[in-house]
Structure 1
Amino acid sequence: MDMSAARERLVVIGGDAAGMSAASQARRLKGPDELEIVAFERGHFTSYSACGIPYWVGGDVSAPEELIARTPEEHRARDIDLRMRTEVTEIDVAGGRVRARDVDSGAESWTSYDKLVIATGARPIRPDMPGADAPGVHGVQTLDDGQALLDSLARTRGRRAVVVGAGYIGVEMAEALINRGYEVTAVNRGSEPMSTLDPDMGRLVHEAMEGLGITMVNNTQVTKVLTGEDGRVRAVATQDAEYPADVVVLGIGVRPETTLAVAAGLPLGAHHGLLTDLAMRVRGHENIWAGGDCVEVLDLVSGQERHIALGTHANKHGQVIGTNIGGGYATFPGVVGTAVSKVCDLEIARTGLREKDARRAGLQFEAVTIESTSRAGYYPNASLMTVKMLAERRTGRLLGVQIVGREGAGKRVDIAAVALTACMTVEQMTTLDLGYAPPFSPVWDPVLVAARKASRAVQQRP
């Protein structure tokens, strides 16, 4: 009997976290005699940490190789036919095949599939304005992008940088450029940096950025990129001013890369990300899965679909997809929206809903803010942190937490992330048995202090 006739083929589009996690997990569960795996990656790298790019640009990480979890050769050694510098240009859903183009030679070919994984990631948002594609203007999403930015910095004689946007990417890139000795201006259309926080908490980040020497320009939108006689960027313009720039970094976020999915008629959500079921299968398509930055996920707190580009989610998606393709069973129930970052030694964390998220979801809430210390007040190097907590009126259900502070502040948000996942009330949180010793926490951990205050606010509300 010819066993090769029964072998299925899995095709994976995208060679980073979600795609290669799915391929690797499927390979663990099914050998090459049962499942052939072909993966396409248009770039030069696989299985890397895009989240580490700002630290590479800033000099904390010395080389891109340090950000790579598994090389193409390592994937191939596990019987995964990984084709680098090959871009999928079309998905033929009815025919069960994909068209791929060799980026260097231009040669095209079709590859059939029995099962398909779409892990095309996200692309940096490039504003629709004159000069946005000029030399010296960079998005930062892939290792190729990071290398292009470093090459640009090496060629640039001037030392003036403008970062457009002040979310996670913008803030981290502003710090990276400061570390490289650049004079940095961050132009932000919001009232404060870090729009993932409420403005009162974002103000603390603003103060920290200015303390680093970063010039913050809030409530302002860039309208064009100005270029010199050589065609390279020389400044960015807003409605009211010009800001000289030898290099511009776009840090205004990303969008799901779903160009292929749109052309193939696959279902998208309100944020233009692919819609999947709990098994990460594309809705309405039995043999197509999707994961990573190209999908939308369920927010467990608001009950609404969201687009969140994070490597943690992408790797989990890949594990779920690979398990299901390999004959097992796994689901991805959703997220609570946890994220952490830093500006110098200031740690920034959030989980759950902001005030405007809660209002948009139709929830009424109490919001409280407290200041506490990272350690017992008498223990050396105790530092202040600010904790903001939202609780639903009447029920007291925890809705969200934001934390800004120094050492030990950021990862405290994980306490709240677990509480949100467990649908705990703030009153229930006050009795959590958290670890205590003076070097690590006051007797009442700052998160519990905020929970006590939120609980009182809920109880006092008529």
Structure 2
Amino acid sequence: MDISGARDARERLVVIGGDAAGMSAASQARRMRGPDELEIVAFERGHFSSFSACGIPYWVGGDVPERDRLIARTPEEHRARGIDLRMRTEVTEIDVAAGRVRARDVDSGAESWVPYDKLVIATGARPVRPDMPGIDAPGVHGVQTLDDGEALLDSLTRAPEGRRAVVVGAGYIGVEMAEALIKRGYEVTVVNRGAEPMSTLDADMGRLVREAMEGLGITMVGGTEVTKVLTGEDGRVRAVATEDAEYPADVVVLGIGVRPQTALARAAGLPLGAHGGLLTDRAMRVRGHENIWAGGDCVEVLDLVSGQERYVPLGTHANKHGQIIGTNAGGGYATFPGVVGTAVSKVCDLEIARTGLREKDARRVGLQFETVTIESTSRAGYYPGASPMTVKMLAERRTGRLLGVQIVGREGAAKRVDIAAVALTAGLTVEQVTALDLGYAPPFSPVWDPVLVAARKAAAKVRDGAR
């Protein structure tokens, strides 16, 4: 039964998901068309809308003093702009043939069918939560939502005097949460399946991250997996176990990564890619469906370097997807060309950045390449505060096309990756990168910026290989 209210002459845009992609789409569609022309109904199953999941580790660590700083726009603010945002309401089914969705009130269980003329799917991602004994014990936490952050902070407050934490996984979230827990005064152990942290980097660059983490007092355990969570007499977590060791823990944080939340789309028969994400065209329209769009962490995107679809769940992409979807759903035209895979992070004062392909990515798509690694400094060596920086660069053999860059260093290192991101998007060769007219003054850079030093060395290696 449809209890959403009588339909009128207006078109109805239904949005599933009230965070970055979904509410960006709703807001942009509202800018394009007013309430008299377009009705917008959005569903969000959680307690918060338009929040920054990326900021949760910094809230937990105390850099962000309060939760509400992470909320960009409240439900009341969205409603004041003419968007019917229904919180604590979960969409449980998409009926594509009939053009409707089944919505369920999370608290009361009441259900209704809500018809749509246009649909946006922005269901986000789900954290990987291994199926193992004890995984649901009190004291074991994911960090996907603001509710997760509050629950973790509560556990940290109530933990016993030992104050021991284990982080499972050493990707972006794992590394950032390890730093947050150190700041909270915990003894931190990170257990990671890979030999080195940050699998988005090549292992030689990941080693630099591990060494920095160990320098902070973090115990790094690589090349193994947690097989179970051990609990005490009170039922709370007391340790995690691998095949050959146990690591005491008053709190366990899961930082294993995320997967696209597409069970709803799969059940509706919508097209999914090799990584489980929805497949869209450049206008973010779900392939084969004129009036359905999808964006954010539930979609796969085109990698401009490899030419293949990949899964890159980042808030930057989600907000861009939303803008594009909202423009198109509102009657305009916009496209999303793809990504080069740029990401930055940090662990205390160590900055970590990457863009483009890793060595194994290039091998997987059949590219032949050269690699160089250089050591430089963030400023002119004689200027106070100059700090070391390592830059690794990949270039295609013979053509010299830039394929990827990874940077690990102190202050001023991470955002240099943006130079490489622009070069990758433009399809520049490393020879062309050497000629970029970058800003220089001793407080900001050596006379040859570290990225240019790496490009010069890569260009020379490409020339030598072509002889």
> Is TM (by shorter chain) over 0.5?
yes
- The whole-number CA distance in structure 1 between the counterparts of 2:46 and 2:397 is 49
CA RMSD of aligned residues (A): 0.8
Aligned twin of 1:182: 186
Residue 398 of structure 1 is matched in structure 2 by: 402
| SS state at 2:223 partner | coil
> What SS does the corresponding residue of 1:388 show, helix, strand or coil?
strand
- Corresponding residue number in structure 1 for 2:250: 246
Q: Given the alignment of the two structures, is residue 151 of structure 1 paired with residue 154 of structure 2, yes or no?
A: yes
Instruction: Provide the aligned length of Structure 1 versus Structure 2.
Output: 459
Residue in structure 2 matching 1:304, options 303, 308, 333: 308
Amino acid at match of 2:449: D
Q: What is residue 105 of structure 1 aligned with on the other side?
A: 108
1:360 counterpart letter in structure 2:
R
Question: Over residues 175-205 of structure 1, what are the superposed CA-to-partner deviations in whole Å (9 max), with x where a residue is unaligned?
Answer: 0001001110000110100000000000110
Q: Distance in 2 between matches of 1:54 and 1:235?
A: 22
Deviation at 1:229, TM superposition (A): 1.9
Instruction: Report whether the alignment pairs 1:193 with 2:197.
Output: yes
Deviations 1:200-253 (A, max 9, x none): 000110011011111000001111111122221111110110001111111010
Letter in 2 for 1:384: P
Q: TM-score, normalised by structure 1?
A: 0.98
Amino acid of the structure 2 residue aligned with 1:353: L
Measured after TM superposition, the shift of residue 6 of structure 1 is 2.9
**Aligned AA (1:66):** R
* Partner of residue 227 from structure 1, selected from 231, 235, 245: 231
Distance 1:179 1:20 in 2: 33
Hey, what does 1:127 align to over in structure 2? 130
Whole-Å Cα distance in 2 between the matches of residues 128 and 270 of structure 1?
22
Cα distance in structure 1, aligned partners of 2:382 and 2:253:
43
| Pairs within 5 Å for 1:307-456 | 307-456=311-460
My pick for the range that moved more, 48-57 or 105-114, is 105-114
Partner SS for 1:447: helix
In structure 1, the residue corresponding to 2:13 is in which secondary structure? strand
Show structure 1 runs of 5+ residues with no match. Answer: none
Q: Does 1:70 align with 2:73?
A: yes
Post-superposition offset of 1:155:
2.4
Distance in 1, Cα, partners of 2:92 & 2:337: 31
User: Any unmatched runs of 5+ in structure 2?
Assistant: 1-6
- Secondary structure at 1:145 match in 2: helix
Runs of 4 or more, structure 1, over 6 Å off, are none
Query: Residue by residue, what CA displacement relative to the aligned partner does 1:339-362 show, whole Å, maximum 9, x if unpaired?
Result: 000010000000000000000010
Displacement, 1:133?
A: 1.7
Q: 1:349-395 deviations in whole A, cap 9, x for unaligned?
A: 00000000000010000000000011111110101100000000010
Alignment match, 1:260: 264
Q: CA deviation at 1:5?
A: 3.9
Percent of pairs identical after alignment? 88
Are residue 88 (structure 1) and residue 107 (structure 2) matched?
Answer: no
C-alpha deviation, 1:436, in angstroms: 0.4
Which whole-Å deviations, capped at 9, do the CAs of 1:32-87 have from their partners, x for residues lacking one?
A: 11100000111111111111000000010111110111111110000100011111
Distance 1:147 1:287 in 2: 38
Question: Is the partner of 2:227 in helix, strand or coil?
Answer: strand
Give the corresponding residue for 2:291. 287
Aligned equivalents of 1:329, 1:244: Cα separation in 2:
55
Q: Give the secondary structure class of the aligned counterpart of 1:461.
A: helix
Query: Shift in Å at residue 156 of structure 1?
Result: 2.0
Q: Distance in 2 between matches of 1:389 and 1:128?
A: 38
